[in-house]
Homo-oligomer: A and B are copies of this chain.
Amino acid sequence: MTDIKVGLIGFGNIGAGVVRLLNENSETIRRKVGCGILLKRIADLDITSDRGVSVDPSILTTDVNEIFNDTEITIVIELIGGYEPAKTFVLRAIAAGKHVVTANKALLALHGEEIYAAASAKGVEVQFEAAVGGGIPVLSAIKGNMAGNRFNSIFGILNGTCNYILTQMTQEGADFDEVLQSAQQLGYAEPDPTFDIEGTDTAHKLAVLASLCFGTRIDFGAIHTEGITGISGIDISFAAEFGYRIKLLAIGKLSDDGKLEVRVHPTMIPLNNPLADVNGVFNAIRLTGDFVGPVMFYGRGAGQNPTASAVTGDLIAISRSITAGVKNRRAAPLGFLDSTVVNIPLKPVEEIVTSFMLRFTALDQPGVLAGIAGVLGKNGISIKSMVQTARHNGGQAVPIVIMTHEAAEGAIRLALEEVDSFEFISEKSRLIRIEDNLE
């Protein structure tokens, strides 16, 4: 059987990993596919830098058209990231009748619908396992063996940079700024870490995950997204005192009212939940299906080798469907047939019901607790427990931490606004959402 010919656009860190994997494991791949997977052409603006992998210089080009116009190339890998020119290149590959493998979560989160429709119309596949969770094969599992389930929920630790920072803050008691700096020195955080620490990258991945689990389009702009920049050491230690760990979670939940919650924010999870022990740059995704129950996937969520593993897995899947001589290619990049993908209405964040840890900073004087408790009560928020650690001789600001029973976020926000208008409040009050039952 003749080899499957592949074109790669983007010869960066991940691209070099794919080149190395296809070199080193060519025999294993041949045993599994029945033919080789041959990288015939690599396009990049920079074709002179050493990427630390052996590659025949004659396959390198700065002209991406050499990939689109090569009729022997049946699969195109897009690894340049970002919106443009990635989108244009992916659509051109599809228009040329080529299958596409991409790791580009930003592109799929914002322009997935257009790309999937183009692929379906053309009868080609779009595979993107590397877009979520690096090497963890969670998307394949959702579309594949777990496809008989209706999913209830997704909880994901999807950004290694944030998880590394929160882990260091938790284990070393270090400050956010300090840890971010060391993460940058270690290469765990980008020079401009905004997309990671503000939660945008996690939200991109959640949009992809939720669309696969629930068979719905997701309006990316409607995902409630908060990063970890507001988390301080005091939040982490109070959370621990109450038996919780703080993680940046991507949450997707189908509510009883038929609406979908999709949100990204720092979340307190019980210490005895396996997600609480996912540390450092590792990622994990916990899903609950109506039959399979809770399932968790854990592994390296980024990096050259794990991401190359996921990209190669996609190449193998497409290569197998080519060698199998598939006649009627399914138009179902999300696992659901395109024609059956719906628009589940999203639940506004104000309507979301959960329990909260509230942290107030108030002058240490009589009447403070009564004032806060009164406002919470008026807004229908019931208090589960309370802690006030430091006690000074009056006058100084001290933290007051309150754990609530379940309440609607809208009510909590109103209450915090009212509390913050008290004169004895010296800093903006903080809320952290709690997930007690990750199902």
Contacts and interface: CB of A to CB of B under 8 A. Distances in A.
A291 B320 contact: no
Which of A30, A298, A336 has the most C-beta atoms of chain B within 10 angstroms of its own C-beta?
A298
B32 A147 contact: yes
Contacts of A323: 328, 330
Interface in A71-119: none
Interface of A: 17, 21, 24-25, 28-32, 34, 129, 135-137, 140-141, 144-150, 215, 274, 277-278, 289-300, 303, 305-306, 308-310, 312-317, 320-321, 323-330, 332, 335-337, 340
> A-side binding surface: helix, strand, loop or mixed?
mixed
A147 B315 CA distance: 10
B309 A291 contact: yes
A332 B32 contact: yes
Nearest to A314: B145
A137 B148 contact: no
| 8 A-B pairs with least C-beta separation | A148-B312, A145-B313, A325-B327, A137-B145, A135-B292, A295-B299, A31-B340, A292-B309
Contacts of A294: 299-300
A140 B135 contact: no
Contacts of A295: 135-137, 297-300
Contacts of A326: 324-327
A34 B293 contact: no
Nearest to A133: B295
Nearest to A329: B324
Contact of A291 (B17, B31, B296): B17
A337 B31 contact: yes
A148 B313 contact: yes
Nearest to A296: B298
Contacts of A137: 141, 144-146, 295
A292 B300 contact: yes
A29 to B, nearest CB: 6
Contacts of A299: 292-296
Contacts of A146: 135, 137, 309, 313
Contacts of A300: 292-295
15 contacts: A25-B148, A25-B149, A28-B149, A32-B332, A32-B336, A32-B337, A137-B146, A144-B316, A148-B316, A291-B305, A292-B310, A295-B297, A321-B324, A324-B328, A326-B326
Nearest to A340: B31
B149 A309 contact: yes
Contact of A335 (B32, B144, B291, B314): B32
B149 A144 contact: no
Contacts of A29: 147-148
Contacts of A336: 31-32
Contacts of A21: 148, 291
A299 B315 CA distance: 28
Contacts of A310: 145, 292
